[in-house]
Amino acid sequence: MAADTSQVPVPARQAPVPECMIDVRHLRKRFGSKVVLEDVSFTVQRGTVCVVMGGSGSGKSTVLRHLIGAYRPDNGEIYLDGEEITQLDARALQQVRRKFGMLFQGGALLNSLTVGENVALPIRHHTELPEETIEIMVKLKLELVGLRDAEHLKPSEISGGMQKRVSLARAIALDPKIVFYDEPSAGLDPIVTGVIDKLMIDLTDKMGITSLVVTHDMQSAFRIADKMIMLHRGRIVAWHARRDAGVARSASATVHHGRSGRSHPAAYVAKRVPRGYFGVVVSSPCGRGLG
Ligand X SMILES: Nc1ncnc2c1ncn2[C@@H]1O[C@H](COP(=O)(O)OP(=O)(O)OP(=O)(O)O)[C@@H](O)[C@H]1O
**Given the rule CB under 5 A, which residues bind Mg ion?**
61
Q: Of these, 57, 146, 276, 287, which contacts ligand X (CB under 6 A)?
A: 57
User: Least separation, in Å, of the C-beta of 181 and ligand X?
Assistant: 13
Residues numbered 35 to 54 that lie near ligand X (CB under 6 A) are: 36, 54
Does 62 interact with ligand X (rule: CB under 6 A)? yes
Question: Binder to ligand X among 61, 75, 219, 283 (CB under 6 A)?
Answer: 61
Residue 105 interacts with which of Mg ion, ligand X, none, CB < 5 to 8 Å by class: none
Residue 54: contacted member of Mg ion, ligand X, none (CB under 5 to 8 Å, by partner type): ligand X
Minimum Å gap between C-beta 54 and Mg ion is 9
User: What residue 57 binds from ligand X, Mg ion, none (CB within 5 to 8 A, per partner kind)?
Assistant: ligand X
Q: Does residue 31 touch ligand X according to CB under 6 A?
A: yes
Give the CA dihedral 165, 170, 172, 174, nearest 10 degrees. 160
By CB under 6 A, residue 60 contacts ligand X? yes
**Helix 160-171 to helix 115-126 angle, to the nearest 10 degrees?**
20
Q: Which residues bind ligand X (CB under 6 A)?
A: 31, 36, 54, 56-62
